[in-house]
Chain A
Amino acid sequence: MAIPQPRIGVVTYPGSNDDHDALWALAALDAEAIPVWHEQHELPALDAVVLPGGFSYGDYLRCGAIARFSPATAAVREFADAGGLVLGICNGFQILCEAGLLPGSLLRNESLRFICRDVRLTVERDDLPFTTRCAPGQELVIPVKHGDGRWFAPPQLLAQLEANRQIVLRYAEPCNGSVDDVAGVCNERGNVMGLMPHPEHAVDPLLGSADGALILASLVEAARDRAVALA
């Protein structure tokens, strides 16, 4: 039997602008990348979902605050509640935080500047469906490009997240003022993850780094395992 190609959806909201890069990167990593429109009340049959970067609804009110109420977001919530794999990148991370699918919140960068550059990240967990291709403590180089990427959680919540091992990635040096240099977190169950850096912009050495492919290929692999299990 041929190894099935995992089906990974990428949700496009009004103002998403990294949806095509995400679709391209997932296809390059041998997934069947499927565009999902924000008005869809139901997701097609999928093995994983990516919420891409961009500026959904113009970042009005708070980043991700309005996309949180899109029909597709409700469908993604159901998908996640059923154990489905969901990865939020940048604005997708902000949407997942606003939706309560991930802990914390993303605030204006401490510098008030839009930051667009490669950053070094430390992998805190290599046992998630999003990080199995990474080595423990591995350093990754992946670009960020955000104005509102300062992840925040109050001390009590942060302690709880640390205890649950929900901090997945940290900036190797201070980037945007995030509490404890947090760059990516997951939910308690480990099937939903969000990160501010853009792995889809770093899947080919020609782009300066292929480290983003470690994250996305982990996801493709985990999605494929699920597809095989269901087949």
Chain B
Amino acid sequence: MRATVLVRPKPGILDPQGEAVETALEHLGFTVTGARVGKVIDLEVEAADPAAAKAQVEQMCERLLANPLIESYEIEVAG
């Protein structure tokens, strides 16, 4: 089963990468605010159903994929 994990810097954490991207976009003539840079992790997991897959990936996030002090995560499972 295909799962996608989105890892984001938590609100309130300074994200200089996001700020640099925002500045670069402004130089290109776009008006943007609040740019933040995170990560995407795509996975294939063995699971009986999407709920079981999500539970597994949640464990992965808690233990390795995200650092709860600085990052939040969101899991999408493609049924």
Tell whether A pairs with B.
Answer: yes
Contacts of A109 in B (CB 8 A): 16
Question: Does B1 make an interface contact (CB < 8 A)?
Answer: no
Shortest C-beta distance, A111 to chain B (Å), equals: 7
Give the number of chain B interface residues (Cβ < 8 Å): 11
Contacts of A69 in B (CB 8 A): 64
Question: Does B69 make an interface contact (CB < 8 A)?
Answer: yes
Question: Does B55 make an interface contact (CB < 8 A)?
Answer: no
Contacts of B16 in A (CB 8 A): 108-112, 177
Residues of chain A from 57 to 110 with CB closer than 8 A to chain B in the complex: 61-62, 65-66, 69, 98, 104-105, 107-110
Contacts of B65 in A (CB 8 A): 61
Instruction: Give complex CA distance A177, B12 in Å.
Output: 14
B67 partner, pick from A98, A110, A150, A154, beta carbons under 8 A: A98
Contacts of A111 in B (CB 8 A): 16
Range for the number of chain A residues in contact with chain B: 20 to 34
Question: Does B70 make an interface contact (CB < 8 A)?
Answer: yes
Known: A61-B64, A65-B64. Is A112-B17 also a contact (CB below 8 A)? yes
Instruction: Give complex CA distance A61, B67 in Å.
Output: 10
Instruction: Give complex CA distance A177, B19 in Å.
Output: 14
User: B46-75, CB under 8 A of A: which get 1 and which 0?
Assistant: 000000000000000000110101100000
- In the complex the two chains form, is B64's CB within 8 Å of A107's CB? no
Shortest C-beta distance, B38 to chain A (Å), equals: 12
Question: Does B13 make an interface contact (CB < 8 A)?
Answer: yes
- In the complex the two chains form, is A110's CB within 8 Å of B70's CB? no
Known: A112-B16, A177-B14. Is A65-B67 also a contact (CB below 8 A)? yes
Shortest C-beta distance, B14 to chain A (Å), equals: 7
B17 partner, pick from A65, A105, A108, beta carbons under 8 A: A108
Instruction: Give complex CA distance A47, B64 in Å.
Output: 30
- In the complex the two chains form, is A62's CB within 8 Å of B69's CB? no
B70 partner, pick from A66, A105, A112, beta carbons under 8 A: A105
Residues of chain B from 5 to 62 with CB closer than 8 A to chain A in the complex: 12-14, 16-17, 20
Question: Does A152 make an interface contact (CB < 8 A)?
Answer: yes
Contacts of A98 in B (CB 8 A): 67
Contacts of B64 in A (CB 8 A): 61, 65-66, 69
User: A157-182, CB under 8 A of B: which get 1 and which 0?
Assistant: 10000000000000000000100000
Q: Which 7 pairs of residues, A with B, have the shortest CB-CB distance? A: A105-B69, A105-B70, A112-B16, A110-B16, A105-B67, A62-B67, A112-B20
